[in-house]
A and B are shown apart, each in its own frame.
Chain A
Amino acid sequence: MPTYTLRINGTAHDVQADADDTLLSVLRDDLDLVGARYGCGEGQCGSCTVLVDNRAMRSCVAKVSAVAKAQIVTIEGLATNGVLHPVQQAFLEVEAFQCGYCTSGMVMATVALLRTTPSPTDADIARVLDRNVCRCGTHTRIVRAVHLAAERLRAVTPSAGADGRLGEPALPQVAQEAQR
């Protein structure tokens, strides 16, 4: 069985897995990073959403071999020194969850959305989060939380950076690794 070095939340992890094993199974079963939830195993519910090179990805359908060179961030890597990421803080304040099972995925999808779309409209939010299921019906609060997080993030860095993206707290990366 091959060994892959996965860069997750700023730490390199060696894992033994088959090429077509999913990132979600490695996160949950090998690394005990269970904040990414299993909901459907077919990339439909979004409960397993993580960031792969800053983009939202359904880890239940992402093959380990395809993400071996990427920077991966899970919900466990979002808060820094116990301070919640603004998206987490907004979800908490708005209480944009009931059972909470979709929350990790919703938060990660929102972080990715706000990197490319700092001032999303309701339609932008619905378009992107449509791939994440909340079965408890908390949708209207989630939309409110996304707007609140966007507002906070814009306040942190009022002008866009050179890449056109707004600033946000740095996400953990493996420092010694050259970026693509």
Chain B
Amino acid sequence: MTARHDETFEVERYELSSPPTWRFALERRTFLAIFATVGSGLLVAATQARGQESGRTGSQGSAPTDVKAWVHVSEDGRITGYTGKTEIGQNIRTSLAQAIADELHVPLDRVSLVMADTDLVPFDQGTFGSLSTPRMAPVLARAAATAREMLLDRAAAQLGAPRASLTCDAGQITGGGRNVGFGDLVKGRQLTGVVPADAPLMPRSAWKVRGTPAPKVDGRRFVTGEHRYTPDLTRPGMLHGRMLRPPGYTGTLTTVDDSGARGMDGVTVVRDGTFAGVVASSARLARRAASAIKAEWTVPDGLPTATTLYDHLKATASTAAGGRGSTPTQTGDPAKARTAAARTFAATYRIPYIAHVPLEPRAAVAEWEGDRLTVWTGTQRPFGVRSELATAFRIPEDRVRVIVPDTGSAYGGKHTGEQAVEAARLAKAVNRPVKVVYSRPEEFSFGYLRPAGVIEIAAAVDAEGRLTAWEFDNWNSGGAGLATPYDVPNVRTQFHAAESPLRQGSYRGLASTANHHAREMHMDAIARALGVDAVEYRLRHLTNDRMRAVLQAAARGAGWPKPSVDGRGLGIACGTDKGSYIATAAEVSRTDNVLKVERLVVAYECGAIVNPDGLRHQVEGAIIQGLGGALFEAITFANGAITNGNMAKYRVPRFKDVPSIELLLLDRPDLPSVGAGETPIVCVAPAIGSAARTFGAVADALPVRFA
């Protein structure tokens, strides 16, 4: 492996993974194949809400071209939704089932979901970008609504009652003094339907299941330990694999003496080009065998370190287009405005790499049957991993099946399938199923990280302190959250792609956290320098009502401008990303040089609230995850190795770090719901940084440290 700037692992890679160029109509035999798997009944194919096929078609209609999900009503009246989304702790297995149950007027326990099995579900780009709630929930709801209407059509005929007189409840349709169950309506049939463009969805006021807390589907299996994550799976005859790795994140294999491993009973050494690994009858033996291999690696000289990183990023900046934000956005003439300004404020902010540290490390179980491959793995992109496998083994995608068990979290860190490819290569060598589970140090060094970045801001104000110019350049973090929400007449923002020495990729909120930190710390610094209250200063430059509402709510909730306990510092920040609005107020204390976050007051608005309990879960989770990057997370590296790649050295938030958190959720039933799993992370660090300034100068960097 060498340090790479591989487009596959590009910054904001998720924006580069576009859907297939051509989508061909589903053939009737595709439906038949699905029926063969799921059983007879009614199968409704749902496309994205816009640009749908027209007309409800029944079994004879033409098939749709851009199917996102299926809903199936079985002969026993059970309802199953099929979606390519993955359950990684965000609880969409429950919330998506709520949408289906509501539209079909059945209790939640009548509905189950088949998720992320590439043989059974329609193509999906992946679970990221907070899109499951705004995009997949309406798709499944429309499919369920169409199924309901088709069932009503059939019931009207079967009961001989006028359709308008029918009522539908708990899986029974009643009319003309008789009733019939969903199962009886579809018994012995293979009925197909396509969601029409005008599929009638229930108004929000009619929701009975959505909008209410629901216990987590399969919750019991998690408290009993019964649920099997990928590392817990076994297959008949399964063996255990382990990769030979360089001592750091990079290195070229020069010599290998594998005689020690080859001599062990039950051990197979697998070599293929630069790939080297072992397969053994137990995981313990595989570990022993791998460590018995004597290998030498060369590591290039002069690799960047955690200290030289920021100069390296700026020095390698590419002028080539590099995704969102790489073309400068300009309004007015900021350079000219700067020369005419009363005061200017410039700073450079440094953002380190941080790791996702999902508690379930990368893992995969691979099994070949002839030239057909099945892989179980925890990933956010089952179809992306299928494609990686097909490419790696030069087989068509339809011979590869990827199945994602509900996964022990990801936070944007599981978009790729290296573990799947490795397990499959080892399995192919021994012709038996093989499981690979990354060790925690492997997860740090051979997964990927949130991009590091350099952010330069040059701002200018007039004699009244009003912002007249705002120039914002980000090297490497990415384009999310690049634009300023503040009202400034002359603005230029630009993202500069750079060469990343470490492998990097998506992360919860991604670049938005870095960009929000720099922008909000800068706004805070300007307000302080001008002697203007930080909330008041922001409000003078904010015209967006939703942003003003969260900022004012957080300030009010925190008792701004006074901390709740004398001697503490109070800080605030606000922002917007992915269609939702956040403001965070932080109260901190200082003992010697150590900051402690004592209290967070967070106001958040993400449109109409679907599942209040689930929303609190996601928002609080994002806030606590944000504490890590704000207070202590930073990957250190030198000489081609990560030097804090284990959990003893890389601290993540723990119980003692968690302050009192007060959440103010602003419900906007008049607005569409947007995903809430990411945006609440973005203002944690700048709120803490701002509060820390009460006690002294703070470095222009993350984590927050006194200068």
Complex partner residue of A41 from B91, B227, B439, B624, CB under 8 angstroms? B439
Interface membership of A81, Cβ < 8 A: no
A-chain residues with CB within 8 Å of residue B359 when the two chains form the complex: 37, 39, 45, 47, 99, 101-102, 133-135
| A-B contacts, 29 listed (Cβ < 8 Å) | A21-B284, A25-B283, A34-B228, A35-B225, A35-B226, A37-B359, A38-B437, A39-B440, A42-B648, A75-B224, A78-B224, A79-B224, A88-B224, A92-B220, A95-B215, A95-B219, A97-B223, A98-B91, A99-B89, A100-B89, A100-B222, A101-B409, A103-B223, A125-B655, A133-B654, A134-B359, A135-B357, A137-B622, A137-B623
The answer to whether B358 and A135 touch across the interface, beta carbons within 8 angstroms, is yes
Besides A98-B90, A133-B647, 8 other CB < 8 A contacts?
Answer: A21-B284, A88-B224, A99-B358, A99-B407, A101-B360, A107-B223, A129-B655, A134-B359
B-chain residues with CB within 8 Å of residue A25 when the two chains form the complex: 283-284
Q: In the bound complex, what is the Cα–Cα distance between A41 and B648 (angstroms)?
A: 10
Q: State which residues 27-74 of A face B: CB under 8 Å.
A: 28-30, 32, 34-42, 44-45, 47, 74
Q: In the bound complex, what is the Cα–Cα distance between A131 and B429 (angstroms)?
A: 40
Binds A, one of B14-22, B104-112, B229-237: B229-237
Query: C-beta contact mask, A163-174 vs B, less than 8 Å → 1, else 0?
Result: 000000000000
Q: In the bound complex, what is the Cα–Cα distance between A34 and B225 (angstroms)?
A: 7
The answer to whether B617 and A91 touch across the interface, beta carbons within 8 angstroms, is no
Q: In the bound complex, what is the Cα–Cα distance between A152 and B623 (angstroms)?
A: 30
The answer to whether A136 and B621 touch across the interface, beta carbons within 8 angstroms, is yes
The answer to whether A29 and B439 touch across the interface, beta carbons within 8 angstroms, is no
The answer to whether B360 and A99 touch across the interface, beta carbons within 8 angstroms, is yes
Interface membership of A127, Cβ < 8 A: yes
Q: In the bound complex, what is the Cα–Cα distance between A99 and B437 (angstroms)?
A: 18
Q: In the bound complex, what is the Cα–Cα distance between A103 and B406 (angstroms)?
A: 14
* Interface of A toward B, CB cutoff 8 Å: 17-18, 21, 25, 28-30, 32, 34-42, 44-45, 47, 74-76, 78-79, 84, 88-89, 91-92, 95, 97-104, 107, 125-127, 129-143
Q: A29-B284, A42-B440 are in contact. Are A137 and B621 (CB under 8 A)?
A: yes
B285 to chain A, nearest CB (A): 9
Q: A34-B232, A79-B224, A101-B360 are in contact. Are A137 and B216 (CB under 8 A)?
A: no
Complex partner residue of A37 from B215, B231, B617, CB under 8 angstroms? B231
Q: In the bound complex, what is the Cα–Cα distance between A76 and B225 (angstroms)?
A: 6
Q: A21-B284, A37-B231 are in contact. Are A140 and B224 (CB under 8 A)?
A: no
B546 to chain A, nearest CB (A): 25
- Most interface-central of A18, A38, A74, A99 (chain B CB within 10 A): A99
Query: C-beta contact mask, B643-681 vs A, less than 8 Å → 1, else 0?
Result: 000111000111110100100000000000000000000
B-chain residues with CB within 8 Å of residue A125 when the two chains form the complex: 655
The answer to whether B227 and A139 touch across the interface, beta carbons within 8 angstroms, is no
* Interface of B toward A, CB cutoff 8 Å: 88-91, 215-216, 219-220, 222-229, 231-232, 234, 240, 282-284, 357-361, 406-409, 411, 437, 439-440, 613, 617, 620-625, 646-648, 652-656, 658, 661
The answer to whether A137 and B224 touch across the interface, beta carbons within 8 angstroms, is no
A-chain residues with CB within 8 Å of residue B231 when the two chains form the complex: 34, 37-38
With both beta carbons as reference points, the residue of chain A lying nearest to B357 in the complex is identified as: A135
B-chain residues with CB within 8 Å of residue A35 when the two chains form the complex: 224-226
A31 to chain B, nearest CB (A): 12
A-chain residues with CB within 8 Å of residue B407 when the two chains form the complex: 99
Complex partner residue of A44 from B283, B411, B648, B656, CB under 8 angstroms? B648
With both beta carbons as reference points, the residue of chain B lying nearest to A88 in the complex is identified as: B223
Q: In the bound complex, what is the Cα–Cα distance between A28 and B89 (angstroms)?
A: 23
The answer to whether B409 and A98 touch across the interface, beta carbons within 8 angstroms, is yes
Q: A47-B359, A101-B359 are in contact. Are A137 and B225 (CB under 8 A)?
A: no
Complex partner residue of A139 from B222, B225, B361, B624, CB under 8 angstroms? B624
The answer to whether A104 and B229 touch across the interface, beta carbons within 8 angstroms, is no
Complex partner residue of B227 from A18, A36, A91, A100, CB under 8 angstroms? A100
The answer to whether A75 and B225 touch across the interface, beta carbons within 8 angstroms, is yes
B-chain residues with CB within 8 Å of residue A76 when the two chains form the complex: 224-225
Q: In the bound complex, what is the Cα–Cα distance between A135 and B358 (angstroms)?
A: 7
